[in-house]
Structure 1
Amino acid sequence: MQTATIRPARLFTVEEANATLPLVKAITLDLQRLAEDLLERQQRLDALGKGRKADQSDPYQDEVEQIQADLETDSKQLETYVEELRELGAEPKGLAEGQVGFPAMIDGRIVYLCWKLGESEIRHWHEIDAGFSSRQPLTEEVGAGPSETLGQDFHEEG
């Protein structure tokens, strides 16, 4: 199996990624709250629906259908929040945990600068194909300081 090359539309410096955090934090907080709420409501609906058949004579059928419609509407709002982050160049990583990755170049390879709700600034990074649990602290050697390769717009030629 061949691994696809990740080509983000934008690469961030640590400073650029940190500068987006006020907006990213607001979107991520809304996203996290809605994701948790959706999961909880879906689990309750699933529990209520166990052993029940959809039946028009069921006095709760209209209510169940309204809950399902509300879940669908809120799922679309969740997708809107995700798209807002992506339009900024950030990549949501863990919706319930409020984790966000910012594509960056470190040592000639594309990685994610990583941040999560509750952190005041970006202090970690991880490989593109590694999870958030594999994040490593930023140091001067790996991009915490000025770099010529960080922060450029990246466009695939061809």
Structure 2
Amino acid sequence: MNYKLFTLEEANSLLPQVYAELLILRDLTRTFEEQLRHLRSMKADYSPSPEQASIDEDPFFELEAQLDFMRLEIDTIIGNFDRIGVQLKMLEPALLDFPGIVEGKEVLLCWKEGEDGITHYHGWEEGFAGRKRLP
């Protein structure tokens, strides 16, 4: 597998930038979900009159296009995490992993929203439940 290994200092210095992107992603995802629920509700309630049914215009086209664009933005931001080598594990609360090395072993430096910096790590197979304090 080809991935970047972060030092603790690199990962901590990247945290403010990555967290800012994560907040944008979180807001965009919330808006997307709200708009999707709205669209589904509109479609469920839609019963066109015979005159409306004969018109070729799709009454949902604009909202569907907005959702498509938001989905593209979401995918781009998630892709940015991948490109810099940060693993986005969860949006709320934010949970990020940075591949790194601790005591000669490849691990994931683990940060959870609310923590001042990266103070924990876990193995690749252990997940969050296997978090240990950094030595």
Whether TM exceeds 0.5 here: the answer is yes
Q: Equivalents in 1 of 2:130, 2:7: separation in Å?
A: 17
Q: Check 1:45–1:92 CA distance in 2 against 1; reply closer, same or farther (3 A cut).
A: same
2:62 to 51, 60, 66: 66
Structure 1 unpaired stretches of 5+: 1-6, 141-158
Q: Which structure would you say has the larger Rg?
A: 2
Superposition pairs for residues 99-138 of structure 1, below 5 Å? 99-132=95-128, 134-138=129-133
Displacement of 1:117 after TM fit? Answer: 3.4
Q: Equivalents in 1 of 2:26, 2:119: separation in Å?
A: 21
1:47 to 26, 41, 44: 41
Q: Check 1:27–1:109 CA distance in 2 against 1; reply closer, same or farther (3 A cut).
A: same
Residue 17 of structure 1 corresponds to which residue in structure 2? 11
Q: Check 1:109–1:57 CA distance in 2 against 1; reply closer, same or farther (3 A cut).
A: farther
Structure 2 unpaired stretches of 5+: none
Q: Equivalents in 2 of 1:124, 1:65: separation in Å?
A: 47
1:57 to 49, 52, 75: 52
- Greater relative CO, 1 or 2 (CA 8 Å, sep 6+): 1
Displacement of 1:38 after TM fit? Answer: 1.2
TM-score normalized with structure 1 length:
0.68
Displacement of 1:131 after TM fit? Answer: 4.1
Please report the RMSD computed on the Cα atoms of aligned residues, expressed in angstroms.
2.9
Q: Which amino acid aligns with 1:75?
A: R
Answer whether contact 2:26 2:91 (CA < 8 A) is retained. yes
Q: Which amino acid aligns with 1:138?
A: R
SS in 1 for 2:5: coil
Q: Equivalents in 1 of 2:78, 2:8: separation in Å?
A: 21
Q: Equivalents in 2 of 1:121, 1:31: separation in Å?
A: 20
Q: Which amino acid aligns with 1:68?
A: E
The percent identity for this pair of structures is: 28
Q: Which amino acid aligns with 1:129?
A: E
Answer whether contact 2:121 2:134 (CA < 8 A) is retained. no
Number of aligned residues: 132
2:82 to 65, 81, 86: 86
Q: Equivalents in 2 of 1:131, 1:45: separation in Å?
A: 36
Residue 38 of structure 1 corresponds to which residue in structure 2? 32
Displacement of 1:78 after TM fit? Answer: 0.8
